[in-house]
Amino acid sequence: MRKNIVAGNWKMNKNFADAEALMIQLLEYKKNNTTNCEVYIAPPALYLTMAKDIFKNAEVEVFAQDVSEYQSGAYTGEISVEMINSIGIDGSLVSHSERRQYHGETDSHANRKVKALLDVGLTPIYCNGETLEQRKAGQHFEVVKNQTEVALFTLSADEIKKVVIAYEPVWAIGTGETATPEQAQEIHAHIRSLIAAKYGQEVADEISILYGGSVKPDNAKEIFSQPDIDGGLIGGAALKIEDFSKIIEGFNP
């Protein structure tokens, strides 16, 4: 069943004490408030076990920010799906735009990472989206189509239903720029139509597609009200409980 989700990507932020404090603040918020969406966080890898311990009795799922496509071996600095699975992590982001930009990840890498996660029963949050140059050139529909097909269309229908997709226009990440709700809805509907054409409308309607691109407390409700937008992948605003909680409340009536 399609879920409403607000996921916080902490990126490379917070020392241990500050990360613990933020987790405790989120725990207290969850204890004292009813939320109309699922809440996920993706802290730095060093803090994953702490997060699982803090949220063990709370409805907050914990995700890695990245995972290796390889099962094990001589891959210094990498973290395997078996490693995160062994400590109870719920899933991982896959091919965030910063992984593409700084580490040369492609959708072929994404495909292998998505499969690796699904093989051990974990949830991939697959990220895609166009650059500013591609948007200005009118290539955004084709770019997102190619990304989605390469990364996901080798999966079975049962497998793809377990994937969360995060559309993140690269030009709107950390820039203060935000796609209008209409622009975001247009691409979300496009992604869902691609999945429907491949797997059928029933499968497409089960997949949560999140928007990731400078979602803020003051625009969350309008963005989340779009028919094909099922939540947000939140960056900077996830680092302050005041902002993150207000975004979560974007799903409140």
Residue type, 152: L
**Residue positions forming the annotated binding site for substrate:** 9-11, 174, 214, 235-236
- The greatest distance separating any two alpha carbons of the chain, rounded to the nearest whole angstrom, comes to 51
Question: How far out from the chain centre does Cα 168 lie?
Answer: 9
Tokens 């969350």 sit at which residue?
A: 220
**Residue positions forming the annotated binding site:** 9-11, 174, 214, 235-236
209-218 CB burial, b ≥16 within 10 A, e <16: bbbbbbbbbe
Is 38 catalytic? The answer is no
What is the distance between the alpha carbons of residues 181 and 219, in angstroms, rounded to a whole number?
9
Choosing from 98, 105, 130, 168, which is the catalytic residue? 168
Q: What are phi and psi of 243, to 5 degrees?
A: -75, -45
Residue of 25, 82, 83, 85 lying closest to 55 (CA atoms):
25
Is 190 catalytic? The answer is no
Choosing from 96, 109, 140, 188, which is the catalytic residue? 96
**Residues assigned a catalytic role:** 96, 168
